[in-house]
Structure 1
Amino acid sequence: MTTKDKNTLDDELSRLINLSGKMRMLSHRAVMSAQQSVLDPSSHNRAISVFNNSLDEFKLIKTALEKGEASLGISAQAAQTVNGHTDIANATPTLERFIFLADRLSADLQDDDVAASQLSGLADFVSHELLTALNAVTASVSQCLHNLLDDRRAVEKNVRNAMFEAVQSISDVSRKVKLISLNATVEAARAGEHGRGFAVIAQEIRILSENAAVSSKQIAGQLSKLN
C-alpha cells in the first residue's frame, strides 16, 4: 500500500465516522418531519419530502458502511476495514429494523390515523435502540481508525529501528575498513618503491571509508528526527 493509499484510507475512515454520526441526525429528522406531516396538514407535502430524503440518505450511508459508496467518497476497501468489527455487525439488524419501520410509515403517511399510531413506536425506537446502535457504530469506526494508525506507527517504528541497525553496521564496517587502509598504508611505506601503487589504493579506500562514515552519520541524524 502506497503512502497515498494509506492517506486515502485514513480520510475515508474519518469520513465514515462523520457519516455514521450523521445517521443519528437523519433518523431524528425523519421522525420530526413525520410528526410535522401528521400535526400540520399545511406542511404535509414538504414534511413528507424531508422524511423521504432523510430516509434515502440514511440508506445510502448504510450502504457505504457495508460495501462502500462512490458518491460519498467511501471505497470498498474502507468498508471492508470496518465490516469485520463485531459491534458494527451487531448493530446492522437495528439499522435494518429502522429502515423497515420508516419505509412502512412512509407508505402510510397519507393516512393520519395510521401514521400517528406508527409514529409513536418509531420515535421510541429511534431514541433508544437505534441511538444505541448508531453510537456503537461510530465508536467502532473510530476504533478501526485508531487501530490502523497504531499498527502503522508500529510498522514505521520497526522500519526505523531496522534502518538504524543497518546504518550502524555501515558505520562499523567503515571504521574497520579505515583501520585496514591505515595498516595497508604502513605496509606500503615499508615496501618502499614497490609499495607506492598499493599506497594509492589504500588512500582511496580510506577516503571511501570516511565518506561512508559521514553519510551514515547524516542518515542516522535524519532518522532521529522521525522519532
Structure 2
Amino acid sequence: MKVFKNFTTQLLAWILVTSFITGGAVGFITLQLTELELAKGQVMLVGTAVALLISVLGGGVIYLIARRPLKAIELASDKAVEVGNGDLTVVFASETTSDRSEMGRLLLSMDNMVEHLREQGTNMRYTADQLTGSAQEIAAAVQEGNTAGESIRSAMNALNKMLEDNVNATYSSMDLLGAVARTMENIRKEMGSALESASEMQQEAESGKGLASTSVDAMHAIAGKVEQSSTLNSQLTEKTGEISRITDVISDISAQTNLLALNASIEAARAGEHGRGFAVVAAEVKKLAEQTANSTQEITDLIVDVKRLVGDTSSSMANVKAEVETGVGLVEKAGGAFATIHSSANEVYSHVHSVDALLDESRGQIDSVVTNSAGIVGMVEEASRYATEVTSAASQQAASLGEVNGAMTELVRVAESLQNETEQMKTEV
C-alpha cells in the first residue's frame, strides 16, 4: 500500500510537471506567435518599404526626368519592380556609379536598403524554419501527451476498479475473520471444558496410581501371609506325621497290652479261685487296651483327616500363592498403567493448556488482523480517492492539451504560411 501511495504521489507529481511543461509549451507557443506577429510586421514593413521605395523611385524618376537619361530611370524602375516581387539580389548601382551625383547616392542607398532587407529575409526564413520544426515537435509531443493522458485515465479507471474489488475483498475477509474468531471462541469454551476434564482425569489417575500402589503393598502382604501359612502347614504336616508315628506306637502298645491281658486272663483261669482277682484286673487291662486301640484308631483317622485337610490347605495355599503372585503382577501392571495414564493425563493437560493459550494468542492475532484490515481499507479508500483525483487531473490535462493542440495546429499553419512566403523571397546573390 505504501508503494502504491508513493506511485500515486509520483503520478500526481508527473501530472503537475507535465502541466508545468504544458504551461511552458503554451508560453512558448505564445512567444512564437508573438515572434510570428513580429515577423509578419517585418513583412509588412518590407512591403511598406518596397512601397516607399517605389514611391521614392517614382519621385526620383520625376526628379531625374529633368536631369538623367530616360534609360537609367527605366532600368532602376525595373529593378525596383523585381525587389517588389521578392528578388532581394537586385543591385541598383553599378561599379561605375558615382556617389557624387544625386542619382548615384540614391542608387547606393537603395542597394543598402536591399541588402538590409536581404539580411532580414534570411533571418525570417531561418526563424520560420525553426518555428515550423518546433511547432511540429510540440504538436507531436502534445499528441503523445494526449495518448499518455488517455492511458493514464484508463489505468486510473482500472486502478479504481481494482481498489473497489480490494475493498470488497477486504470486507469479505474481515467477515470471514469474524466468523473464525467466533468459531475459535466456541472452541476455546470447549477447550475450557476439556481442560477441566483433563484436570479431573489427572486427579483420578493420581488417585488410581496411589490405590494401585496400596494394592501392590497389600498383595505383597497377602503373599507374605500365604507364605507363612504354607510354612505353618508344612510344619503341621510334619507334626501330624510325628503324631501318626506316636499313634502307631500306641496302637502297637495297645495290641501288646491286649495280648498280655489275654494271656493274664488265661493264667488267672488256670489259677482258679486264687487268680480271680488277677482275672478281673486282666479284664480291665484288656478293656483299657481295647479302648486305647479304639482311641488310637480314632486319632489315626483324625490325623488322616488332618493330613488330608493340611494337604488340601497346602494345595489351596499354593494356588493362593500363585494367584497372589499373579495378582501382584496384575496390580503392578495396573500401577504401571495408572502411571502411564497419569503421565498421559499430565501431557493432555499440558497440551490442552497450550492449545488454550494458542487460542488466546490466535484470537489476539485475529483481532490485530481485523484492525489492520480496517486500516488497509482506509488506506485503499484513500488511494482510491487519490486515483479519482489523478483521473480528474488527467482529464483536465487532456482538456488543456486539447486547447494546446488547437493552438499548435494554428501555429503550424501560420508558421508554414510564413515559411512559404519567405521561401518566395530570393536572398542569395
Q: What's the TM-score, normalizing by structure 2?
A: 0.29
Cα contact 1:178–1:210 (8 A) shared by 2 = yes
Q: Which amino acid aligns with 1:181?
A: L
The answer (yes or no) to whether the contact 1:181–1:206 under 8 Å persists in 2 is yes
Task: Say whether the 8 Å CA contact 1:178–1:209 is kept in structure 2.
Answer: yes
Partner AA of 1:18 in structure 2: M
Residue aligning to 1:66: none
Equivalent position of 2:43 in the other structure: 17
Quote the Cα distance in structure 2 between the aligned partners of 1:28 and 1:196. Answer: 86
How far is the alpha carbon of 1:181 from its aligned partner?
A: 1.7
Residue 35 to residue 28, structure 1, CA distance change in 2 (3 Å): same
Give the alignment's Cα RMSD to 1 decimal.
Answer: 4.4
Distance 1:197 1:184 in 2: 13
Question: Which digits, 9 at most, give the CA deviation of each residue in 1:152-196, with x for residues without a partner?
Answer: 542342122121122122212212322332232233221345122
In 1, the alpha carbon distance for the partners of 2:65 and 2:392 equals: 80
Matched, 1:33 2:59: yes
Q: Kindly indicate whether structure 1 or structure 2 has the higher relative contact order, using CA contacts under 8 Å at least 6 residues apart.
A: 2
Distance 1:199 1:25, change over 3 A: closer
Structure 1 residue 27: deviation in Å?
Answer: 3.5
1:214 lines up with 2:392 in the alignment: yes
Contact 2:146 / 2:401 at 8 angstroms: preserved in 1? yes
Mapping for residues 110-125 of structure 1, pairs under 5 Å: none
Equivalence map 1:157-168=2 (5 Å): 157-168=139-150
CA distance in 1, matches of 2:388, 2:57: 75
- The 5-angstrom pairing of residues 19-168 of structure 1 reads 19-39=45-65, 91-92=88-89, 94=90, 97-98=91-92, 100-101=93-94, 104=97, 107-109=100-102, 150-168=132-150
Q: 2-side partners of 1:37 and 1:139: how far apart?
A: 30
Is this contact kept in 2: 1:13–1:141, CA < 8 A?
no
CA distance in 2, matches of 1:27, 1:219: 51
Distance 1:187 1:32 in 2: 90
Question: Which digits, 9 at most, give the CA deviation of each residue in 1:24-64, with x for residues without a partner?
Answer: 334433433334334569xxxxxxxxxxxxxxxx9xxx9xx
Residue 202 of structure 1, aligned match among 376, 380, 393:
380
The TM-score with structure 1 as length reference comes to: 0.50
Gapped regions of structure 1 (runs ≥ 5): 42-57, 63-86, 110-114, 127-135
Deviations 1:84-105 (A, max 9, x none): xxx98x733x1xx21x25x947
Q: Match of 2:100, SS?
A: helix
Tell me if the contact between 2:32 and 2:131 (Cα under 8 Å) persists in the aligned partners. Answer: no
Residue from 191, 196, 214 that aligns with 2:174: 191
In 2: Cα distance, 1:224 partner to 1:162 partner: 12
Unmatched 5+ residue regions in structure 2? 1-26, 68-79, 111-117, 176-366, 407-429
Partner of 1:55: none
